[in-house]
Amino acid sequence: MTQSFYELGLAPVILETLDSIGYAEPTPIQAQAIPALLAGHDVLGQAQTGTGKTAAFTLPAVQQLTPDGLQMLVLTPTRELAIQVAESVYRYGGKLGLRVLPIYGGQSYDRQIRRIKKGVQVVVGTPGRTLDLIQKGVLDLSEVRYLVLDEADEMLKMGFIEDIESILSATDADTRQTSLFSATFTDTIRRLASKYMHDPLHIAIEAEEATVTNVTQRYYIVQENQKIAALCRLLEVEDQKNTLIFTRTKVGAAELAETLIERGYPAVAIHGDLSQAERERILRRFRSRDLTILVATDVMARGVDIPDVSHVVNYDIPQLATEYVHRIGRTARAGRSGDAITFITPRQRRLLKMIEDHIGKPITKSKLPGREDVLSRRETIFKSSLLEQIDTYGANEDDALLDELIEMGYSAEQVAAGMIRSLRAQQVQRPLEDIKDVSTSRDDQPRRRSKEKLGRRSVSHEKGMVRLCMNVGRANGLRPGDVVYSIASKANIPGSAIGAIDIQPNETYLDVPVAHVDTVLNQMQHYKIRGQTMKLVRANER
């Protein structure tokens, strides 16, 4: 397999970008798809989420885009994925000044229309909103040269086939290059490929087995600007020996190490810009525990022998599930146990879900240590250090000073109290910031169609829609995406047809077109969603 991005035919500016964000070598799907796309082939890619598909279909197109006009369209099944892919495309094209716009339901039409009119080169959108903007005459796809269907199987399950075909018909079939990526290839996907793709190359990547044993995995939800404070709390209360902290970029690794040092936590950054000799020197210190906190980029997650790592911290959650496995594989070696800690912001829950799907089990949500926990831990460590000195006490030259102080009229208790205050004053004064609890934030949850709070009104305000009510709600962990997916797939209607959704604690209201109401009510009876048997009725008949 190709071991370097330099062998794939990518432009120097793209290679520079990949190097700056810490991409060491291509994943299997990237190694096969990038040369094929650069050569102009349509590509039919079969690969699991988290294997690097976004870079595979983005990098070849990005380096060929011109400054003006919409030239690339990526279709994704969900709002969350549209945002994630748009952020990745923007990052890969950062040195080129790329203009990227995610479009999805639940966001203001006016805002998206203004951005489109201002001019973008890449649009990443969900099928429903993309088609809406095409039909409004706002989104012109006539000059699109690169079209990508990402997670095509999920889009089809959600009933987007008609929308997708309408969107494909709005592009120039003779000039566009089409890529379709899917975890599975159904007959519907094969028919879609046969109808809309030109002699595509079929690339299938075997799912990499995720072997993560003896590792306790947990995650914390924090805002980006409070990750430092959260990390410092954990470094204080965890029983950590050697801790390996991963950041996304080399600059991020260097800055984090400097910040930790300033706060009294001795740390060193290690990344690809350092000479081999310097890296070896740092690793020797880490192995000997002369250094216990190492901040690294993903290049260090592969092929470097670092034994006896007690904790791996994903300060920046990896974009690929495979990288997560490689990172946390640095701990729990040689039969030992280990801890893997991951920080996510409220908007990164989808990345976490991708990783959980890849490793085949949930990662435990945890609560950060409180201020009292940290202070108690500091006191315990101080007391332990003090007792160690007392336990090793023996007659030595310090006795003369003790005798002198007692002769001056000070009691042994006063001397001891003075020494304790002196020792406390010599401790490193580490800051202890307040951290806002965002673990229950729903800012990243998808919103559909309208932000209107529906309350418990039984009649839809949208013409041609009927309001339904189901007996499952937020207390069951229900999300708008669950509602759309379940109804679109079970009742076989387009996901885009479903209107406003309002999830209450114990029930959910949703709008469905009049033409689909009977079908939805018939098909959804006794259907289980989030483990709860659904009862779906017209809201005015509750």
Q: Tell me, what's the pLDDT at 249? A: 82
Q: Are residues 93 and 25 in the same domain?
A: yes
User: If you ran DSSP here, which 8-state letter would residue 474 be given?
Assistant: G
| Amino acid found at 2 | T
Query: Closest Cα partner for 443 from 330, 333, 347, 373?
Result: 347
Of 151, 174, 204, which residue sits at a domain end? 204
Judgement on whether residues 100 and 227 belong to the same structural domain of the protein: no
| Mean pLDDT, residues 378-401 | 73
Q: pLDDT over 90 for what percent of the chain?
A: 35
pLDDT reported for residue 265:
87
* 70, 120 contact by CB (below 8 A): yes
- Cα separations in angstroms, 514 against 158, 218, 460, 466, 520: 19, 45, 11, 6, 10
Map residue 193 onto helix, strand or coil.
helix
**CA within 13 Å, CB half, 251:** 5
Q: Do residue 35 and residue 129 come from a single domain?
A: yes
Cβ atoms 351, 344 nearer than 8 A: yes
Where residue 193 sits, what CATH number does that domain have? 3.40.50.300
In this prediction, residue 436 has a pLDDT band, given cuts at 50, 70 and 90, of: confident
Average pLDDT over residues 73-83: 89
Span 96-121, pLDDT tens digits? 889 999 999 878 889 899 999 999 99
Residues 221 and 172 both lie in one domain: no
Whether residue 301 is contained in a domain is answered as yes
Please indicate, yes or no, if residue 503 is contained in any of the structural domains. Answer: yes
Dump pLDDT digits (tens) for 174-196. 999 999 998 888 888 999 999 99
pLDDT at 302 over 70: no
Classify residue 405: in a domain, yes or no: yes
Residues 327, 301: contact at Cβ < 8 Å? yes
- Within-domain flag for 516: yes
> Edge to edge, what strands does the sheet with 465-470 contain?
501-503, 508-513, 465-470, 536-538
Query: What DSSP string describes 218-277?
Result: EEEE--GGGHHHHHHHHHHHS--SSEEEE-SSHHHHHHHHHHHHHTT---EEE-TTS-HH
Same-domain status, 335 and 268: yes
If one counts the domains in the chain, the total is: 4
- Final residue before a domain boundary, out of 154, 170, 204: 204
pLDDT at 295: 93
Tell me the per-residue pLDDT of 241-292, one tens digit each, with 9 for 90 and over.
889 999 988 888 888 998 998 888 889 998 767 776 787 788 888 888 888 8
Please state, in angstroms and as integers, the Cα–Cα distance from residue 442 to each residue in 434, 439, 446, 484, 499, following that order: 21, 9, 9, 18, 20
Residue 378 lies in a domain: yes
Tokens of 252: 């991020």
Same domain, 262 and 302: yes
Judge if pTM exceeds 0.85. no
Does one domain contain both 97 and 200?
A: yes
CA 26 from centre of chain: 19
413 plus 510 within the same structural domain: no
Q: Distance (Å, rounded) from C-alpha 207 to C-alpha 133?
A: 36
Residue 537 lies in a domain: yes
For residue 453, the model assigns a pLDDT of 42
Q: Look at residue 427 and tell me whether its pLDDT is greater than 70.
A: no
Domain at 517, CATH number:
3.30.70.330
Does 124 lie in the same domain as 248? no
Residue 433 within a domain: no
Q: Determine, yes or no, domain membership for 458.
A: no
pLDDT of residue 3: 63
Q: How confident is the model at residue 447 (pLDDT cuts 50, 70, 90)?
A: very low
**212: confidence class by pLDDT, cuts 50, 70, 90:** low
Domain assignment of residue 414, given as a range = 372-426
**pLDDT over 70 percentage in the chain:** 89
Q: Please, what is the average pLDDT of the chain?
A: 84
Tell whether the torsion through CA atoms of 239, 244, 247 and 250 is positive or negative: positive
Whether 486 has a pLDDT exceeding 50, the answer reads yes
Maximum pairwise Cα distance, the chain: 101
pLDDT-based confidence at residue 13 (cuts at 50, 70, 90) = very high
Q: Is residue 80 located within the same domain as residue 163?
A: yes
Same domain, 50 and 164: yes
Same domain, 23 and 73: yes
Last residue of a domain, one of 324, 339, 368: 368
